[in-house]
Structure 1
Amino acid sequence: MNQQRARRGHEDDWWRQLYGDGEGGGQGAAGGAAGRAGVRTAGPSDAGPSDAPDTLDDRVESALRAVRAQAEPKPWEPPVRPAAPPPEPSPPIPLPATGPASRDTSSDTAPGTPSDTAPDPLSDIPPDTAPDTAPDTAPDTPPSRTAGFVGDRPPTYDPEPGALPAADPGALDDLVPDTALDGARYGSLTLRAASQRGDSARYRGEVRRDALLTARFGAGRQALILVAVATPPPAAEGAHRAARDACAWIGGAVGRSYTQLAEDIRTDHRDALKSGLQRLTDRSYGKLRGRARELGAAPERYTAALRCLLLPADPDCRTRVFFGVGAGGLFRLRDGAWEDLEPATADHDTGDAPGSDGGPPRPAPGSHTAEGPVRPAPFLFRAAFARPGDILLLCSAGLAEPLQEEPAFAARLAARWKAPEPPGLVDFLATAQLRVKGHTKDRTAVGVWEA
């Protein structure tokens, strides 16, 4: 019994030395450092008897827990890096001087007198000069100055498209793209055509009202090219449909008769050509009147000014034929100067000219109905012979008006388009959209370059 008690006492001394439960020898994890420093730490002998189990198995389990705690790796934590200092502010970039005084006008072409040394109209753009005062309808944001313009300051409206027109999910075919662009080359002629929504319509989110049709009928030397431009009356609801109908119906009429029309042009039978085109035009306007009745619209509101060019693809035929009704423009750029080819009053034919027998006027076939005249204005016709280097320009009122009223605008167009080679589609559009303050209508332009 004494031997067992002595052995038990020896084992207790060994465990106390291992875990620091006593005062002697080594200290445990909690008190080893303090013991080595000569500082006495409290242990079970100081606290008196403990109720905690103190069997051999308990002590072995306690030792294993201590070993596992020391062997388990600590979770990895990213190193703490000092925050980078904030970047120093960049020095301010000096802005160019603004205002009309900063513009160099020494190389500007004098209005109406273009020359071979005239500057490119799109490269001579004055710096950003906001208008002194903006109208009540001005956009909320300052307009961009990326587009060319003439005058002492740019127009108030932004030159790029703004709001899209409202769409009806049941009538998506009524949507019209902001810009239409087309072109072709046949024989000695090069065709360029562009139609663009005006600044006012872009700002208000309205559709482009001008309509443009380019079509070829036939093939080879017998082909005939038709270009039609239509503009409806202002402020007429849904009038853009009338413009599209006018182009489509005159296109169908010409297409069904193109063989005879092309022959009349080649043989220079102008009287037959004029009377035939007048009948086709009157029939197209008769259809517009009928469509107005179907829609319950006033005939004078569901209509459009219509201007057309007929261009034979035969390289040996240089006769170009214009016909139409209503406002717009017909010009020719020859030797660097613009010529107005609008038919004179004597060439207007309303169908009311006196008969050859001196009797009362006789209406042309189809030009009148019981409700009044079919077309809203006199029929216009002109056939012109094209010389190499000529440029023929057919346009809607949106381009004809600034061309007639602004000499600087006319000079810029002449300087840009009189180059030996016809412009590409993008260059043609860029020149046609040269901006003038106060002219915000849709613009449609058709140019024919003669080689």
Structure 2
Amino acid sequence: MSQQGERPAAHEDDWWRRLYDETAADAGSTNAADSLDDRFDSASDAVGPTGRGGPGGDDGDGGTDAAVPDPRTPPAPPVRARAPWELPTEAERAPWEPPSGAAQPRDLAAPPAPASPPVEAPPPTPPPGAERPGTVDGPPPAPAAPPPVPAPPPPEHVPPLPRRPVAERAEEAPEEPAPAGATDSGSGAAPAGPAPAAPGPTSRPGLMYVGDRPPTYDAEPTALPATTPQELDGLVADTVLDGARYGTYTLRAASVRGDSARFRGEPRRDALLTVRFGAAENALVLVAVASGARAAEGAHLAAADACRWIGGAVGRSHARLAEDIRAGRRADLKSGLQRLTDRSYGRLRARAAELGLEPHDYTAGLRCLLLSADPDCRTRVFFGVGGGGLFRLRDGVWRDLEPDVPASGAVTGEPVVGFGSASPESGPHGDRLTMDLGITTPPSPYIESPPPPPAEPFRFRASVARPGDTLLLCSTGLAEPLRGEPALADELAERWTPPEPPGLAAFLADTQLRVKGYADDRTSVGVWEA
């Protein structure tokens, strides 16, 4: 029964009885061809050049059959794949891809990219079975092989390009700046040109010389001093540079090995010490310059000892010295500094005795400056022993402030017995008389030991600086050419006259301003008053 309760139809199950009826005859085998070639021909007939039906197919009327390629024919060359950066052709473009000529968005801040040349699309490959021009029922021609690319010549056969100086290339092709308001027609933005150089401070001249001829030696170091592993503590650098600023003054200090010592590989005989004792307004700045004897072997060690010992003596009494400088007690300063200097030279003589040397073989000239850090104090104190120079530059004119020292023969007054006067037993010509026998005895021609060299006088000067002054303390290596070569004095006056003091590098270059005939070590200390 059906779901509605109706009775089934009379012959509803006839198809089942006809399908499985044992009386129905079997179809059996057929006489149709069933080989592999027959099946291929059947499939070829069913699938024509236009698919199912159409001209040339089973459903077409009067069409010609297309040439079926031989299965053994080599396939056509594959279609070249398009690179990611290449634009698709009209045949390859997908519906959602923009046409090749459509405008692309660009960044307004950046200049537009140059238009790329059109990309030639490869010719479309016909489907299998289609005829090609110039071929009739035959395999397609093989693609022509590209011509061989010649190999580049080896590197050794390529001549190097001549290099020209930058200045020559700049002169040949100068860049002309674009006029104001000119813009690029493609992007609408002004072309980027070379930025104008910002005006900077005037560069100071480098190392040079004054005079009619250049110096004999080179301006740069040539040889280093020889030493041993046991003498490493006594090494000194070729150049020492230092500086500071306190109160109303600016300090610059430099010590350089001379041209002669640089060429021969000798150590720098000049020593430089810059040190500050105390703090705030009670601080005291000491600058010490020492020069060892020229012919002595350990001259650089004696100069270093002289600076170190005078620095220690001043440091232990810096509070009293700073107070005397601010109060202007000139007499107390002179006596106290002379006592400290004598003690330092006493230690030098003791050191010479320890080394088995004569006192004049282990000594050094010493010159010092004492500067107060109090802005209200402009008193500058100089003291020392030995040669050198003390100069002041005011209004572009140098003045030699070296304290006057009386000459050795300008001694006045009657001689004192025991200090240069003749003994009572001497005759009219200085011969000593034997009182008991009355026989004149000539002086002995043999001298057991040479007389000690005359002591160097102590030098002291205290002066008040004015705004704009420049005080220069230097060793003999710079004092002698400054006194003997007017061109050097004029050049330094021109460089140091501006109100702003030079930097450390500029001050070092000024100290090394060379002069023909002067090749000793140079040490200079400059004080610029604000």
TM-score computed with the length of structure 2 as normaliser? 0.56
CA 1:439 to 1:449, structure 2 compared with 1: closer, same or farther past 3 Å?
same
Match of 1:7 in 2: none
Question: For this pair of structures, how many residues does the alignment match?
Answer: 314
Q: Which runs of 4+ in 1 moved over 2 A?
A: 87-95, 120-123, 358-363, 371-376
Cα distance in 1 for residues equivalent to 2:521 and 2:459: 22
User: Does the residue aligned with 2:359 lie in a helix, a strand or coil?
Assistant: coil
Alignment map for 1:367-446 (pairs within 5 Å): 376-446=455-525
Match of 1:249 in 2: 309
| 2:279 is the counterpart of 1:219 | yes
Alignment map for 1:34-53 (pairs within 5 Å): none
Q: 2:293 aligns with which of 210, 213, 233?
A: 233
Alignment map for 1:197-212 (pairs within 5 Å): 197-212=257-272
- The Cα shift of 1:169 comes to 1.1
Alignment map for 1:130-209 (pairs within 5 Å): 147-209=207-269
| 2:86 is the counterpart of 1:86 | no
User: In the alignment, residue 505 of structure 2 is paired with which amino acid?
Assistant: V
Cα distance in 2 for residues equivalent to 1:197 and 1:292: 24
- The Cα shift of 1:167 comes to 2.4
- The Cα shift of 1:91 comes to 7.6
- The Cα shift of 1:238 comes to 1.1
Q: Could you list the per-position Cα deviations for residues 170-217 of structure 1 after superposition, in whole angstroms to 9, with x for gaps in the alignment? A: 221111010000000001011000000000000111111100000101
Between Structure 1 and Structure 2, the one with more helix by share is 1
User: In the alignment, residue 286 of structure 2 is paired with which amino acid?
Assistant: L
Cα distance in 2 for residues equivalent to 1:282 and 1:340: 25
Cα distance in 2 for residues equivalent to 1:393 and 1:90: 49
Q: Could you list the per-position Cα deviations for residues 306-358 of structure 1 after superposition, in whole angstroms to 9, with x for gaps in the alignment? A: 00000011111110000000100000000110000000136x99xx999xxx9
| 2:529 is the counterpart of 1:450 | yes
Match of 1:343 in 2: 403
Cα distance in 1 for residues equivalent to 2:472 and 2:266: 27
Cα distance in 2 for residues equivalent to 1:271 and 1:374: 28
Alignment map for 1:348-367 (pairs within 5 Å): none
CA 1:385 to 1:92, structure 2 compared with 1: closer, same or farther past 3 Å?
closer
- More displaced 10-residue stretch of structure 1: 81-90 or 258-267: 81-90
Question: Is the Cα–Cα contact under 8 Å of residues 209 and 514 in structure 2 kept in the other structure?
Answer: yes
Match of 1:312 in 2: 372
Question: Is the Cα–Cα contact under 8 Å of residues 325 and 375 in structure 1 kept in the other structure?
Answer: no
Cα distance in 2 for residues equivalent to 1:361 and 1:320: 41
Question: Is the Cα–Cα contact under 8 Å of residues 121 and 148 in structure 1 kept in the other structure?
Answer: no
Cα distance in 2 for residues equivalent to 1:374 and 1:188: 42
User: Does the residue aligned with 2:229 lie in a helix, a strand or coil?
Assistant: coil
- The Cα shift of 1:262 comes to 1.0
Match of 2:390 in 1: 330
Match of 1:279 in 2: 339
User: Does the residue aligned with 1:444 lie in a helix, a strand or coil?
Assistant: strand
CA RMSD, aligned part only?
A: 2.9
Cα distance in 2 for residues equivalent to 1:271 and 1:429: 36
Cα distance in 2 for residues equivalent to 1:318 and 1:353: 37
Cα distance in 2 for residues equivalent to 1:264 and 1:90: 69
Match of 1:20 in 2: none
User: Does the residue aligned with 1:300 lie in a helix, a strand or coil?
Assistant: helix
Q: Could you list the per-position Cα deviations for residues 73-98 of structure 1 after superposition, in whole angstroms to 9, with x for gaps in the alignment? A: xxxxxx95313431365689999xxx
User: Does the residue aligned with 1:227 lie in a helix, a strand or coil?
Assistant: strand
Question: Is the Cα–Cα contact under 8 Å of residues 286 and 374 in structure 1 kept in the other structure?
Answer: no
Where structure 1 has 5 or more consecutive residues not aligned to the other structure, the ranges are: 1-78, 96-119, 124-145, 364-370
Cα distance in 2 for residues equivalent to 1:374 and 1:315: 43
Cα distance in 2 for residues equivalent to 1:179 and 1:255: 25
CA 1:353 to 1:179, structure 2 compared with 1: closer, same or farther past 3 Å?
farther
CA 1:288 to 1:409, structure 2 compared with 1: closer, same or farther past 3 Å?
same
- How many percent of aligned residue pairs carry the same amino acid? 66
- The Cα shift of 1:373 comes to 7.6
Alignment map for 1:110-125 (pairs within 5 Å): 123=205
User: In the alignment, residue 329 of structure 2 is paired with which amino acid?
Assistant: H
CA 1:433 to 1:359, structure 2 compared with 1: closer, same or farther past 3 Å?
same
Larger Rg: 2
CA 1:202 to 1:422, structure 2 compared with 1: closer, same or farther past 3 Å?
same
Q: Could you list the per-position Cα deviations for residues 210-267 of structure 1 after superposition, in whole angstroms to 9, with x for gaps in the alignment? A: 0000010111100110000000111210111000000000000000011111111111
CA 1:85 to 1:403, structure 2 compared with 1: closer, same or farther past 3 Å?
same
Cα distance in 1 for residues equivalent to 2:354 and 2:271: 21
Q: 1:261 aligns with which of 321, 324, 343?
A: 321
User: Does the residue aligned with 2:360 lie in a helix, a strand or coil?
Assistant: coil
Match of 1:18 in 2: none
CA 1:261 to 1:156, structure 2 compared with 1: closer, same or farther past 3 Å?
same
Cα distance in 1 for residues equivalent to 2:263 and 2:242: 25
Cα distance in 2 for residues equivalent to 1:335 and 1:245: 38
User: Does the residue aligned with 1:412 lie in a helix, a strand or coil?
Assistant: helix
Where structure 2 has 5 or more consecutive residues not aligned to the other structure, the ranges are: 1-149, 169-201, 420-449
Larger RCO, structure (CA 8 Å, separation 6 or more):
1
TM-score computed with the length of structure 1 as normaliser? 0.65
Question: Is the Cα–Cα contact under 8 Å of residues 405 and 457 in structure 2 kept in the other structure?
Answer: no
CA 1:233 to 1:180, structure 2 compared with 1: closer, same or farther past 3 Å?
same
- The Cα shift of 1:122 comes to 5.4
CA 1:81 to 1:444, structure 2 compared with 1: closer, same or farther past 3 Å?
same
User: In the alignment, residue 85 of structure 1 is paired with which amino acid?
Assistant: V
